[in-house]
A and B are shown apart, each in its own frame.
Chain A
Amino acid sequence: MSSIAIQLDKVTKKYRTGRSRTLGDLVASKLDALRGRNDDVHTASRGRIGSTIWALRDVSIDIPVGAGLGVIGRNGAGKTTLLKLISRVTWPTSGAVRVGGHVVSLIELGAGFHPELTGRENVYLGAGLFGLTKREIDRQFDAIVHFADVERLIDTPMKRYSSGLYARLGFAVAIYSRPDIVLVDEVLAVGDAAFRRRALEALRRLIGEGKTVLFISHDMWNVRRLCSDILWMEEGRVRAYGPAGEIAERYMNEINIEALANQSVNLQSHRGGTGEIRYSSIELVDDAGRPATSIAPGENLVVRATYRAERPVDRPVFQVAIIDVDSGLVVTTATSNSAGVPAHVDGDGAVECRFGNLPLRPRQYVLRLAISDSHQLASYDQVTAGPRFAVIGRGRGVEMLADEEDGLVSLPYEFEHVSTLSTSITPRTA
């Protein structure tokens, strides 16, 4: 038991929804009770007030000391409720939450700060909120100020601070409050890249020191960098809890497939071009000609498009581009002279663009198609938001290093250790 930092035992949390209760509702419900009616729901004119949502349902997990645990899931899955229960901001409706150690929650950076007070005073106020005494704060003060890099402004009221600086000081106060357990809820979204990097480094260092870190984020990249395990929440329940690589891949696959299921391809949206010749249909198929919206890395993908020319067009160039939904253009392709496009195109026709052994990483992609003239001067048609597809990982998860997953494409490579320099020729430093 001593190695368990946080234990949730059949924890359920219910919230009331709808408008908040008023004295009028209280009186009305007492009157109802007197009349022998005992339901939570009032008459239609007063609106439903008794409806409840189950933020967490029967959640039981043990989180070991020293874990770096990523908490993922859709909005409303119960991630923040989980953190609030662990930090004792709120209490479970039933079940038990057992926490061993001093919890510092970063549900919002600098939540306790007051803009009229100086940075120095707010450090004492904020760290006090985390349960530190003045003497303890005195000892950590320089480290906090140094981490947040606010030496110059420490005696300035915080209303003069930029929001990034505000967040930095809030983060610094939290991690120097001698936590045993740190709860981080999407707070790294604020602040610049340099701050995010330092914050992640600091959290990683805490894990290295044996502290327990729970990290809610929608940014899989950060989760993978920080966490060895992932807790996947769904509709108030634990969907999965296990090694980060494996869970992250399952999660991303599901997100990608779901996004595809929800899309309705409307070629007319964001349609550009002069219209002499236009695509009339675009479909994605696999080698066997079956429609494909999700493919595995290394499979073949065929983009099949039909077109209709309203009048004869000289040497049109057909283009297909693959766009990464998150990070932009991956590749553009175009029919060349050797592609067999007739010198004059009129009426209906079809083109096919074939990507063999698609070297794309598991992500979501969208196709962009265009038709232009051979000098790229006239644009006849532009389909900015074409069909989408997803590349779905095949469950090699655990073996894959986080860094290996980054980037857009998989390129074949060989990478080996060639030789060791003998110590005698190690350059000496002056």
Chain B
Amino acid sequence: MSGSAYFELLMNLTKREVKGRYSQSFFGIAWAIVQPLSAMVVFTIVFSRVAKMPSDGVPYPIFAYAALVPWFFFSNSVASGTMSLITYRNIVTKTYFPREIVPLSQVCSRLIDFCAASAFYAGFMAYYRVTPGPWALMTPVFFLLLILFTVGFTMATSAINVFYRDVNPVVQIALQLWLYLTPVAYPLSATSARFRWLFVLNPLTAIVEGFRSSLVFGRAPDWSTVSVSAAITLALFGSAFMMFKKMDKYFADVI
């Protein structure tokens, strides 16, 4: 019953998840690239061509894709993670192991998608001749924030959803709106200055803007936005984890 055994269990459940998702599909892991790619095409047509959305001087597709990859990582993790404890009721109600492994495995499985989409992005940047500057070294910071926020949020929704199944539909709808309330299709600078603080309260704003500034623009992020995001993310992660551990004793009774 060691930590390493549970880490291996996490890896095995992740593998089970990825394999279950892509086995018997011809393109396999390529589907992980198609999702942000097709969103990028739609956004390029709708926001860039039709709505003439500014992209701060870089090609719009690359501008949008840089934010879409972390966005879909978050959104897909939450979308499947919220139901994960219910989906895995078979093992949750029949065997003992630390329950957080279940939502964590959902996030980890989306990490595979994230990596595939990122690898594609590298080629994409080369095509547009965008070379990342020294600020690209900031990327791991935003990556870490993204992971913490995603894990915290997924743990919270998955745990509450065990007790109140209404959470899942609410979350699925909220995710659709959330995409447009996050500067993914547009830059934060395009938002009205009066309401910008509201966008800043959304931790994902600093994260997607951060990926963009460090990779696409090669400039420093807006530190004040980043610190607000980091504070909220850490608070959410900490409280979500504590709540999860408090609730998990009763999962098997309720599912």
Contact = CB atoms under 8 A, between A and B. Distances in A.
Interface string A113-146: 0101100010011001111111010000000000
Contact of B16 (A20, A21, A89, A114): A114
Contacts of B5: 128, 131-133, 136
A251 interface: no
Given A102-B1, A116-B20, A124-B12, A129 B165 contact: no
B128 interface: no
B140 to A, nearest CB: 28
Nearest to B92: A89
Interface in B1-49: 1-2, 4-6, 8-9, 12-13, 15-16, 19-20, 23-24
Contact of A91 (B15, B92, B249): B249
A149 interface: no
SS class, residues of chain A in contact with chain B: loop
- The 6 nearest A-B residue pairs measured at CB: A91-B249, A23-B166, A88-B96, A128-B9, A111-B94, A90-B252
* Residue of B1, B8, B15 contacting most chain A CB atoms (<10 Å): B8
Nearest to B6: A131
Given A22-B166, A121-B15, A89 B96 contact: yes
Interface in A330-380: none
Q: How large is the interface on B (under 10, 10 to 19, 20 to 34, 35 or more residues)?
A: 20 to 34
A20 B165 contact: yes
Contacts of A121: 12, 15-16, 19
Nearest to B7: A133
A105 interface: yes
A166 B20 CA distance: 18
B19 A89 contact: no
B95 A129 contact: yes
B91 to A, nearest CB: 5
Nearest to B97: A129
Nearest to A185: B94
B102 to A, nearest CB: 11
B19 A117 contact: yes
Interface string B150-193: 00000000000001111100000000000000000000000000
Contact of B96 (A15, A87, A114): A87
Nearest to B19: A116
A103 interface: yes
B97 to A, nearest CB: 6
Contact of B163 (A21, A89, A102, A134): A21
A131 B90 CA distance: 17
A240 interface: no
Interface in A69-100: 84, 87-91
Given A87-B96, A133-B8, A111 B90 contact: yes
Contacts of A273: none
A124 B249 CA distance: 26
A105 B97 CA distance: 12
A131 B164 CA distance: 30
Contact of A89 (B4, B95, B165): B95
A129 B249 contact: no
A94 to B, nearest CB: 13
A15 to B, nearest CB: 6
A90 B253 contact: yes
A427 interface: no
Q: Contact size class for A?
A: 35 or more
Nearest to A87: B96
Contacts of B91: 111-112, 129
Contacts of A16: 253-254
A16 B254 CA distance: 8
Interface string A6-35: 000000000110001111101000000000
Contact of B249 (A90, A111, A132): A90
Contacts of B4: 133
Interface string A149-169: 000000001000000000000
A131 B252 contact: no
A107 interface: yes
A103 B96 contact: yes
Given A111-B90, A117-B20, A131-B2, 5 more contacts: A89-B94, A111-B94, A114-B16, A117-B16, A128-B9
Given A125-B12, A129-B97, A133-B8, A108 B163 contact: no
B8 A22 contact: no
Given A22-B164, A117-B19, A133-B8, A89 B93 contact: yes
Nearest to B21: A116
A105 B250 CA distance: 18
Contacts of B9: 125, 128-129, 131
A116 B23 contact: yes
Contacts of A89: 92-96, 252
Contacts of A23: 164, 166-167
Contacts of A108: 90, 94
26 contacts: A20-B163, A20-B165, A21-B164, A22-B165, A23-B166, A88-B96, A89-B93, A90-B250, A105-B96, A107-B95, A112-B91, A116-B24, A117-B15, A117-B20, A121-B19, A125-B9, A128-B9, A130-B95, A131-B1, A131-B2, A131-B5, A131-B6, A133-B2, A133-B8, A136-B5, A157-B23
Given A87-B96, A89-B96, A133-B2, A128 B8 contact: yes
Interface in A194-222: none
Nearest to A108: B94
Contacts of B165: 20, 22
Given A102-B1, A111-B94, A134 B15 contact: no
Contacts of A128: 5, 8-9, 12
B253 A125 contact: no
A189 to B, nearest CB: 16
A26 B249 CA distance: 20
A134 B93 CA distance: 24
A358 B96 CA distance: 51
Contacts of B164: 21-23, 26
A242 B92 CA distance: 32
Contacts of B252: 84, 89-90
A102 B90 CA distance: 21
A20 B160 CA distance: 13
